Chains A and B, each alone.
Chain A
Amino acid sequence: MTFSPQLEARFEKLVRSYPPGRQRAALIPMLLYAQDEVGAVTPEVVEEISRRLGVSVLEIEEVVSYYSMLRRKPAGKHHIQICTNISCLLLGAEQLWEHACRRLGIGNREVTPDGQFSLEEVECIGACSWAPALMVNYDYHHHMTPEKLDRLIESLRKTQ
């Protein structure tokens, strides 16, 4: 399979980042960056990276199934990840989560029928002092409330 020139450039830089004979080290970054572009770690992505790094498909499967950010099926265009861990929980993450589920009509790891949004309950994302927090794709949103979430969803909807 082929990747964008930008991703290819990134891969090339990655593989050169590690000592000779240690190119397997590039595996996890490659999987995540490929997922960012393809939408998921598909069997084709696994095959391709297996070929490029000389790592068996089984070894890649071992890795993919270990890391929680790697997924087999595409998320929505806007992947909303709500932290419900302790600091966020203390400040209303559960209500935020329930609100998001109601508002989007989907549950954990589900995608809206139009493919615009997906929801995921995530563990601590390192925003404890600015809780409750969530991420949309790789962007942080701090001090969230159900109202702010509504506004966020509306503005994201408009970006399509």
Chain B
Amino acid sequence: MLYNEPSPLEVRVLTRRFGLPNSASIDTYLATEGYAAFRKALEMTPEQIIEEVKISNLRGRGGAGFPTGLKWSFVPRQSPKPKYIVVNADEGEPGTCKDRVLMENDPHQLLEGMLIAGLAVDAHAGYIYIRGEYRYLIEIMDRAIAEAYERGYLGRNILGSGFDFDVYTHTGAGSYECGEESALLESLEGKRGIPRIRPPFPAVVGAFQCPTVLNNVETFCAIPAIIRDGGAAFAALGTPKNGGTRLFAISGHVNRPGVYELPMGFNLLRMINEVAGGVRNGKKLKAVIPGGSSCPVLKAEECDIAMDFDSLARAKSMLGSGGVIVMDEDTCMVKVAMRIMKFYAHESCGWCVPCREGTLWLKKLLTRFHEGQGRRNEIALIGELARNMLGRTFCPLGDAAAMPTISLVEKFYDEFEAHLEGRPCPFEARTAVLV
């Protein structure tokens, strides 16, 4: 089901079936060009499939934005070992809730994407690693998988093609870190979610030590459209090097928060004002975290920007996982920094020193700060500690904790100053009341 009204500004490619009756059923899927792309891919060579994905300029929707076609091309063509397709459905980046709706409303689209990936790299089994909290989605995916087996879209000799493919769901049990691809693979193998040393990358040594294509749910869900309508058509929907559409999860102080499918490069201000109905209660916009909590914050005046990987990188932020967190003028940015750090301290796997110790230190420091117990020289210390983590941790979680923190101190220095010397949080009295 849908939890928010669609917007007329949406370009519905991945969400085209959303809102149809029984959108999750295979009948609906088949009636709406479902598995057509897979049938088409059966007639293509693996090289042709990968080439089409490259042409589409599809970039990973999990957060890093790595070109998908390129990633697939790293899987060795000849391998004595089996190969695997793994779906990262460990959606956990605060501000992000788009994979959930994709699986809930159109699970077969994901399966079809996996099948096509299987054809592209000669893999015959796929795992959908779903975060533990999304139990109902495991049930939805399991139903879809059962339907697909029943109708011959999974199993042995699919559609008489000689191609075999099995899909399994696999539940996580509560760990943000397992959204990091190598930690996810460890978790899939029944271990603690500690990232692996890379190289080798999963394309070469992945699940069960075998070559593996590992992508985000949304990435796989884009594949059927790319193969069906051609990579060029998908690319044309977005901006150069940023093909297609993207599901943006808009949250925070807007009138119509929700998940919306918009072309890559869509203007952020328009997104807030026209898609999400503007800032609530007539308040002024203060800041936006554009791609999930690990992205550096944008001040209101920086928000006239195209939402694609490269434009945000130029603005020293990131498109990340597409979680757009909108904050109005009453938001305490010290509290935001504190809450974000509390999250990363909770989720740090503890493997490496700077992340394990840095996130806890910063959490304690920011908590103290927000309580008005900060000292002036510690404003700089917050940024410095974050920079001491940045780029030096074992996996990107340290960066994810450091980047928003550095930006918050830099851009809202005055708010940190306003908390000094025992002063109560100046925003506490004005904190938004509940809807």
Contact = CB atoms under 8 A, between A and B. Distances in A.
A90 B136 contact: no
Interface residues of B, number: 62
B190 A138 contact: no
Contact of A17 (B82, B91, B170, B175): B170
A33 B133 CA distance: 12
Contacts of B171: 28-29, 32-33
B192 A62 contact: yes
B182 interface: no
A25 B125 CA distance: 15
A80 to B, nearest CB: 13
A94 B11 CA distance: 35
Nearest to A132: B434
B285 interface: no
Contact of A126 (B131, B250, B335): B131
B435 A92 contact: yes
A28 B343 contact: no
B95 A67 contact: no
A63 B255 CA distance: 42
Contacts of B67: none
Contacts of A3: none
Contact of A32 (B132, B192, B251, B336): B132
Contact of B249 (A86, A89, A128): A128
A85 B94 CA distance: 7
Interface residues of A, number: 50
Interface string A118-145: 0000011111111110010011101101
Given A67-B172, A90-B253, A129-B259, A124 B434 contact: no
A96 interface: yes
Contact of A143 (B95, B133, B435): B435
Contacts of B134: 126
A111 interface: no
A67 B82 contact: no
Contact of B97 (A24, A53, A91, A127): A127
B307 interface: no
Contact of A85 (B99, B132, B339): B339
26 contacts: A18-B168, A19-B125, A24-B191, A28-B173, A63-B192, A67-B174, A69-B132, A84-B339, A85-B339, A86-B94, A86-B95, A86-B289, A86-B343, A89-B335, A89-B336, A91-B434, A123-B92, A123-B346, A124-B343, A126-B92, A126-B96, A128-B97, A129-B259, A130-B257, A142-B3, A143-B435
Interface of A: 17-19, 22, 24-29, 31-33, 53, 55, 62-63, 66-70, 84-87, 89-92, 95-96, 123-132, 135, 138-140, 142-143, 145-146
Given A28-B172, A128-B95, A143-B435, 16 more contacts: A17-B127, A18-B208, A67-B174, A68-B174, A68-B346, A70-B173, A86-B94, A87-B95, A92-B434, A123-B92, A126-B92, A126-B96, A126-B131, A128-B94, A130-B257, A138-B136
